[in-house]
Amino acid sequence: MAQKEQWGTRIGVILAVAGSAVGLGNFLRFPGQAAQNGGGAFMIPYFISLLLLGIPLCWAEWTMGRFAGTRGFHSAPGIFIVLCRNTFARYFGTLALLVPLVIYMYYVVIEAWCLSYAISYLDGSLMPAANPGAYDEYFGSLVGIGQDGALFRPGHRDFLGILIFTFVMNFFFIYRGITKGIEAFCRVAMPIMVVLALVVLVRVLTLGTPDPAAPDRNVVNGLGSMWNPNFAKLSDPNTWLAASGQIFFSLSVGFGVIINYSSYMRKNDDVALSGLTATSMNEFFEVCLGGLITLPAAFIFLGAAAQEMGTFGLGFTALPSVFAVMPAGQLFGFLWFIMLFIAAITSSLSMLQPVIAFFEEGLGLKRHAAAAILGLIAAIGSGFVVYFSKDLKALDTMDFWVGTMCIFVLAMFQAAVYSIAFSVQSGHAALHEGSHIRVPIALQYLLKFVTPVYLLLIFVAFCIFNVPDYFSAIGKSEVALASIMFISIVGAFLLVMVHIAGIRWMREGKLNFLFEEAGEDEQAANDSPAV
């Protein structure tokens, strides 16, 4: 008989959850969002969103995951059955499998970009010129942006090899399990990431005024491009939407990951302090490292144009231009991209675990078989993203409909489930079981009444601003339509698997607790004297 999977150490689960949250968004998306939405003033709605949305939802997920995990379920369908006390609830768990699986399909491709850049810095092939146009071309060629199927033509074997290596690396750690795989990797990777980021930070902050001909482009003004506040932006609803969205996506809330990771905790393990620590570590990477490195560095060498660049533009074309003219830029370019690669790996590992846990728990598959089937599905999806590379249409479509819309829906569902499963008092008690810090009971009222409404408002605003464009894209682009169909097929497959898992659990008696509790309630009602 195999041993029950559990986290080996307290810091292990914290590092794993923090590693799941820390990714490219901390270093590339956050600085751009802040600069475009009021600079330093952006931090006001940002911290308000962290308090009202981010931390409460994280605590809710940690509490729900541990609650269901100690009752024998680690996959979302089973967890939702335990929490809702209804077998039908398992079908909503499909979303918590679809989201991480589909995101993994394109995230592993971005991961391979990072590794490819790091290798190119190592062998010196990525220092051709300081002209940003050269890096645009390099990036376009690497990702096959000009034509569908470009990456399967001669000349791209290196990238495909790197992608396969990245893919296999992810599955190697997943195959090793929670303690020996994910936890062991994150315990090494997270400190390495901190060290690498600090080295690059020191380099950026000591750049001074690299070009005497452009004295305005110095470190202090670079920091100013990121942090000088424009308080007028606070009256713009888009600023609040951007801040809430950044917090929401940065913390991995609604990914189905935290709920899965925390299900491997023991009954008396602390979730309050662990959840807060993982959240604060993510904020450290985002505000203290991402906020001080990316945009200031880009501003020093590229000027104010850096503020308007998107995530990929900033990361894969602007920063290489910076490293090209920075003293020892080849070394710092390598360190930067290898750090991004490690950050991406810790995130992608967390996307595979919820699905492999379901295959093992719901379908009774052994680890070998579960990993093989998951690998096949993920490989087909990644192949789809790599093949339909023109304008990154497939990647963009999947990112919007699954990586954004489905996450919102799942987070709202989880917030509703928390409200159903826990009263104010029982939620407070569940959070504090084994806790090493005290959280005010006001949090429970926040979770019941404020957070769901706040989330709904953001979701509606997001839909109004973004959905029409993406809907019209489906009609105009065959690749967008094919991507939607692909997502639907994967979703339908998972839905059938969830249905089968429910039948298996009933046959095995794993859901007997539902009927026993219902019987006890009925008995209690019959025994109680008539009023």
What value, to the nearest 5°, has the Cα angle with vertex 245 and ends 244 and 250? Answer: 105
- DSSP code at position 147: S
- Encoding tokens for residue 84? 């809702």
By beta-carbon proximity to another protein, the closer residue of 61 and 283 is 283
- Encoding tokens for residue 8? 């080996």
* 422-441 footprint of another protein as x/- string (CB under 8 A): --------------xx----
- DSSP code at position 231: G
Interacting span for another protein (CB under 8 A) from 118-126, 234-242, 288-296, 457-465: 288-296
* Position among 125, 228, 426, 512 found at the interface with another protein (CB under 8 A): 228
Q: Which of residues 322-381 bind another protein (CB under 8 A)?
A: 360-361, 364-369
- Residue 245 near another protein by CB under 8 A: no
Interacting span for another protein (CB under 8 A) from 103-111, 144-152, 223-231, 511-519: 223-231
- Residue 3 near another protein by CB under 8 A: yes
Interacting span for another protein (CB under 8 A) from 60-68, 160-168, 271-279, 404-412: 271-279
Class of residue 168 by CB neighbours under 10 A (exposed 0-12, middle 13-18, buried 19+): exposed
Q: Using the structure block, give the residue that is written with the tokens 């918590």.
A: 96
* Position among 51, 188, 214, 220 found at the interface with another protein (CB under 8 A): 220
- Which CB contacts under 8 angstroms, 24+ apart, belong to 5-10? 5/74, 5/177, 5/178, 5/179, 5/264, 6/178, 6/179, 6/264, 6/265, 6/266, 7/178, 7/179, 7/183, 7/264, 7/265, 7/269, 8/179, 8/183, 9/183, 9/187, 10/269, 10/270, 10/274
* Position among 41, 105, 309, 439 found at the interface with another protein (CB under 8 A): 41
- Residue 283 near another protein by CB under 8 A: yes
Interacting span for another protein (CB under 8 A) from 77-85, 164-172, 220-228, 491-499: 220-228
Interacting span for another protein (CB under 8 A) from 84-92, 150-158, 202-210, 268-276: 268-276
- Residue 193 near another protein by CB under 8 A: no
Give the type of residue at 189: A
**Separation CA 278–CA 13 (nearest Å):** 9
Give the type of residue at 421: A
Q: Using the structure block, give the residue that is written with the tokens 């620590």.
A: 277
Q: Which of residues 44-63 bind another protein (CB under 8 A)?
A: 47
Map 103-167 to HEC letters: HHHHHHHHHHHHHHHHHHHHCCCCCCCCCHHHHHHHHHHHHCCCCCCHHHCCCCHHHHHHHHHHH
Q: How many residues bind another protein (CB under 8 A)?
A: 48
**Separation CA 213–CA 295 (nearest Å):** 21
- Residue 72 near another protein by CB under 8 A: yes
Interacting span for another protein (CB under 8 A) from 33-41, 111-119, 148-156, 403-411: 33-41
Smallest gap from Cβ 431 to another protein, in A, equals 16
Binding site for another protein (CB under 8 A): 1-6, 8-11, 14, 39-41, 43, 47, 72, 220-221, 223-224, 226-229, 266, 273-274, 276-277, 280-281, 283-284, 287-288, 291-292, 360-361, 364-369, 436-437
